[in-house]
Structures are given as structure tokens and as C-alpha cells.
Structure 1
Amino acid sequence: MTQRSGTRTRASRHRQAGIAIITAVLTAALVAALVAWMAWRQQLWFRQIENQFDQAQARGVARAAIQMARLTMRDDARHNQVDNLLEPWNIPIPSIPVEKGRVGGRVLEQQGRFNLNNIAPIGTVDPVAVAAAERLFKSVGVPVELVNALADWEDGDSETRYPGGAEDLEYLNQTPPYRAANRPLADIESLARVQGFTRELIAKLAPHVAVLPQASPVNVNFASAEVLAAVIPDLTLAEAQAVVSKRAGKYFETLQDFSDALPERVRANVVAGSLSIQSRYFINEVDAQFGRVTVRYAALLERNGNDAPRIVWLKRR
């Protein structure tokens, strides 16, 4: 009996020792896993800090590039009264190295395009601008009646224009509902909120239109044939293309030079103040990379006088 009891005691001790060993192994594995997790979290935290630092530095590089563009446009205004395609600032800057990164960008003149806010710049629809917009829309394959929808979006009244117009009633039936802005567009992206404008139609318009905070004339040294045919009544697209070809490798130094390039029958149709050889508005696009982070910005610059252009808006692209 005593011998059997001793055997049980030794077996119990062996089981307890085995359990203790397993417990120790599991504890060691748990501690190792915890240490590995803590090391991973610490590495992740350091990586996040590095990324935040790189992002801040990349933003700083981008802003410095925009400031350089502002100074370039200021100097151009001080020494040059005619804006044209041959100017140095019109040449895109390829990605060039900076400390721990790269930066590049371009300046895009905006007044060679039709300003969509010319339609109702102070809350009242301008019939001359509406007619020009209709010609442009037709030329690029966008339904002409959408000009009325845009006019209703910009004007200050609640009367719907026909055909194609839209005021609060139409927008309140959308999901989700909203109201007509009754003010000028903020940027080209906001055109998507106007009834009837799809992404495909906006893409057709985009090369020929701009959204600027004030009514603006068209710079004839940058305008496409479609824009010229739109803003000059009775000028055909083929005739406008011929005018554009005359500035190849050069530019119009005066509006009289431009007028002389037009067919004689349409010269009297030019609306006073609708054309220019100078530009106030430009978009500066910048790509900046620092470390592992790349940022892309666009800034609308307004040049007025000999000071550095003011930044109308700045946004990520």
C-alpha cells in the first residue's frame, strides 16, 4: 500500500513538473510575442513620425515653389506688357532635385480660356456672354441648353430659364437635396453640382474654360480656335483656326495686330473689352517629393500691378 502511494506521489510530481515547464514555455512565448508587438508598434510609430516630418517638408518645398512662381510672375509684369506662349514662365519645369527630394511644376495661363463666371459676374445675366458660351458649348459638343442651367446657378434671381434651366425646385428634388448657389462658380469642380453637367461633359469643356473670380477678357495670344470663334460673333471655327496659325512661333503685340489677322467682315463684331493681350490669372501646379512623401498642389494666382500675385485659392490635387 505504501509502495503504491509513493508511486502515485512521484507521478503527480512528474505531472506538476511537466505543467510547470509548459507554463514557463507559454509564458516565455507570450513575453516574446509581447516584446515583438511592442517593437513593431514602436517601429510603426517612428515610421509615422518620419512620414509626418517628410510630409511637412514636402509641403514646405511645394509652397516655396509657389512663392518662386509668384516672384517670376511679378518680374514678368514689371518688364513685359504682353503675355504670350513664348514667355519663359510658360515652359514647364521638370522635376529637379532638392535636398532629400525633388520638385517640379508649371504655370498655366487662364485668360486664354472662356471665363464661365462671365455669364453672370455680379448676379445679373450678361446676354453677350451667354451667346458666347452657347457658341462654345456647341463647338465642343456640349448641349447648348446647359448654358441656361449655368446662368440660373450663377444669377441672383429664382426665375428658371428655358430650355434647360434649373433653380431651387429642381435641386431640392435631388438626393441629397440642395439649393442653387445663386453666385459665381468657385472652381471648375463645382460645375459638377450644376444640373446636367456630367464628368464627361466637363472634360470636354475643361481645355477651353476657366473659373475666375471676376469677369475677364480673353487673351488672344493663348485662346484656342474654339474660344475665339465663341467670343467673336460670326467668326467660323475654320477662320479662327487660321487666325491661331498666324501666331505660330510669334504673338500678337497689339489688339490691332490681332484685328488685322481677322477676316474683315467680322472685325466690327468684336465686343469692346472682350479681348486682351495681357493676363491677370494663372494656375500654378506643383509636384513636390521629400523622402517617402509626394504632394501635389494647385494655386490660382491673381496678378494685379507690379506686386507679387495674390493666392486666390490653394488646394491639394
Structure 2
Amino acid sequence: MSRLPETGFIHQQGIALITVLLVLAVVSVALVSMSTGRQFDIRRTETQLRSAQTWEYAHSLEAWAATRLQEDFSKTKFDGEKDLWAKPLKTKAVPGGNIAGRISELQGRLNLNNLLSDGKASDEDVQRLKRLFTYLNLKPELVEAIVDWIDEDQDIRYPDGAEDETYTALDTPYRAPNQYFADVSELVKVQGISDKVYRKILPYIYVADSREKLNINTASPMVLRCLADDISKDTAESMYRANGKPFESVDDFLKDEALNGIVLNKDSLTVTSKHFLLSGHVAMGNQELNFQSQLIRNAEGEVKIGKRQRRSPAYE
């Protein structure tokens, strides 16, 4: 019986060993790939669940805000800075993370959409916004472009307005909407409104889908000073600190000694509010959500969500 040469036998053993190693390598790669894919699936599912949970908590913050506003409405028919809604919800632990929220009243600010009245520029509101720009050391002529942004025509308010012919000539062209602002963030699209300007005026403005009166109980000294030409910084501070606050009627406000000699349009003022802003924060694991919801409370005290959006803390 013949025998294979010893070298041939060793060669066959080597081939068999290499084959086994290759098979093991392929199996190992397949197992690692399957394991990695499974880990990605688990992480993706976890992220989706966290995201859904985060928004559920955001909705719960809206429910909390609505309840606060309704409770406040049942107790008093005028709104001031010390009302129930003004007390924030401090950071609160919840399963998987924490939440926090605060409600701001908006009608103590200037409503950008008040710049129009019956489709025409409202001179009273245009002048109020121009005063705000002046007191903030900004160019008041920028207000002309803001009016052009929302008025219905294509007529430029010379020399400082801007309509389609200005915006379509940009590197990235667009058109003026010629309708009410949907959100204050639109301002950065208006000719001359830089991010710096926007940040500076943001605490004093808001947007409603209709003309709204100014709440003198919640207006800041800066906003109160914008009501008329002859209001000094000291006078505005006195109006803000008036002993009768919160006023139960506009007449009570106009009778305050701080307003001696100052003539204001009574019909543009109020002591109640229906527009509020919820600023919420939700942290779940490695996910964080900062959002704002504009709340509208009607004459019966019912509250609805006007709009909701993510918002950077820097722009709150």
C-alpha cells in the first residue's frame, strides 16, 4: 500500500486549516454585522420612543398652561404681572427626565400686525414702533420696510421701504408676502433687519392674527414709553410702578397721576389679555426639547393652541 509523501499530507492539512479559518472569519464578520445592525435597531427604536415621550411631555406642559390660564380667568377679569399664570413651573423630575415651563403674557408688547388697520398703515402704531427703535438706538426708518412687508400693495414707502423689487434682486431671491406676519421670526427676512436688530427688539414685540389692544398692566417701561412722544424714561418708569396696578379698567390707568398731561388713545388700551406664550423645556435621556406655544384665551376663558414650534433658548 502506497503512502502519500509526508510533505503532501502536511500541505493538505494546511489547506484545511486555512479553510476553517476563512469560514470562522466569515461567520465572525456575519455575527458582528448582525450584532451591529441589531444595536442600531435598538438605538433607533429607543430614540423614537424618547422623541415620542418628549413631545408627550410637551403636550402635558401645554395642558398645565391652559389650566393655569383658565384658573386665573375664573378668579379675576383683568391681567397683571402677579397673576396665577405668572408663576413658573420650576424644573420637575418626571420618569426618564425632567420638565420646566413658564407663561409670558404677550399683550404687554407691541403687536407687529397692528401696523395695518383696514389694509392701510396705522400711523399710531407705526409711530409707536418707530419710538421703540429709537429708544433702542436702532434706525426708526427700518419700520417702513416692516410695513411694506405686510401691506397689500407693491408701492414702496420711500425712501426706506422695500417691496419685491428689493427682495428679488438678492442672491437668494424671494418675495414680500404682503400679508400679516405669521411669526416674529419673519422679521429677519425684512430689508435691514439683521439678527442683532431682531434680538434687540424681540422682548418688546409679538404677533397676533388680528389687531389687539395693549395691556397696560403688563407692559414694560420701554413699551409704555412708546405710547406717545412726550413720555420720558422717568415718566414711563412711574407709569410702570403706578400704585393702582394692576388696574381694573383703562379709565383708572388714565387717571393715575403719572399720566398728568399725557394724552393717550383709550381705545388702543386694555387691562385684559388673551394672548400668552408658553416656553417649555423637556429633557429625556440625551434628548432635549426647547419649544414655545402661543396660547389664545377667549372671552369665555377657553384656551386653545395658536401655534407650536421648536425654539432656541437664545431667542426666547
One fold, TM greater than 0.5?
yes
Determine whether 1:243 maps to 2:249.
no
CA distance in 1, matches of 2:65, 2:259: 38
Any stretches of 5+ residues in structure 1 without a counterpart? none
**247, 252, 261: which is aligned to 1:252?**
247
Match of 1:138 in 2: 134
Report percent identity of matched pairs: 30
Task: Give the superposition deviation at 1:97.
Answer: 2.0
Paired with 2:103 and 2:243, the residues of 1 have a C-alpha distance of: 20
2:50 alignment partner AA: D
- The answer for the alignment partner of 1:284 in structure 2 is 278
Instruction: Measure how far apart 1:141 and its partner are.
Output: 1.8
Query: Where in structure 2 are the equivalents of 1:164-183 lying within 5 Å?
Result: 164-183=160-179
After superposition, the C-alpha distances for 1:200-238 in whole angstroms (9 at most, x for unaligned) are 000110111111111111111111112111123311222
Distance 2:30 2:292 in 1: 46
Q: Distance in 2 between matches of 1:251 and 1:103?
A: 31
1:212 lines up with 2:202 in the alignment: no
Residues 247-301 of structure 1 deviation map (CA, whole Å, 9 limit, x = unaligned): 59x53333233221433111xx201322111111001122223444332321111
Q: In the aligned structure 1, how far is the partner of 2:296 from the partner of 2:202?
A: 20
1:229 equivalent in alignment to 2:225? yes
8 Å CA contact 1:74–1:307 kept in 2: the answer is yes
Q: Which of 71, 74, 85 pairs up with 1:75? A: 71
Give the 4+ runs in structure 1 shifted more than 6 A.
none
Matched, 1:298 2:313: no
2:124 alignment partner in structure 1: 128
Q: Once structures 1 and 2 are overlaid, which stretch shifts more, 143-152 or 233-242?
A: 233-242
Work out whether residues 154 and 185 of structure 1, in 8 Å CA contact, stay in contact via their aligned partners in 2: yes
Q: CA deviation at 1:307?
A: 4.0
Q: Distance in 1 between matches of 2:94 and 2:202?
A: 32
Contact 2:164 2:175 in 1 (8 A): yes
Partner of 1:50: 46
Distance 2:168 2:50 in 1: 44
Q: For 2:10 and 2:137, how far apart are their aligned partners in 1? A: 89
SS at structure 2 position matched to 1:251 = coil
Q: Give the TM-score, by structure 1 length.
A: 0.91
SS across alignment from 2:291: strand
| Paired AA for residue 169 in structure 1 | E
State the one-letter code of the partner of 1:167: E
* Conserved? CA contact 1:103–1:289, under 8 Å: yes
Size of the aligned set, in residue pairs, is 309
Distance 1:121 1:71, change over 3 A: farther
- Residue 271 of structure 1 aligns with which residue? 265
Structure with bigger gyration radius: 1
The answer as to 2:57 corresponding to 1:61 is yes
CA distance in 2, matches of 1:210, 1:68: 22
- Matched-pair contact (CA < 8 Å) for 1:71–1:308: no
Structure 1 window deviating more from structure 2 (161-170 vs 69-78): it is 69-78
Cα distance in structure 2, aligned partners of 1:247 and 1:30: 83
Q: What residue number does 2:314 align with? A: none
Aligned residues: CA RMSD: 2.0
- Cα distance in 1 for partners of 2:210, 2:45 equals 43
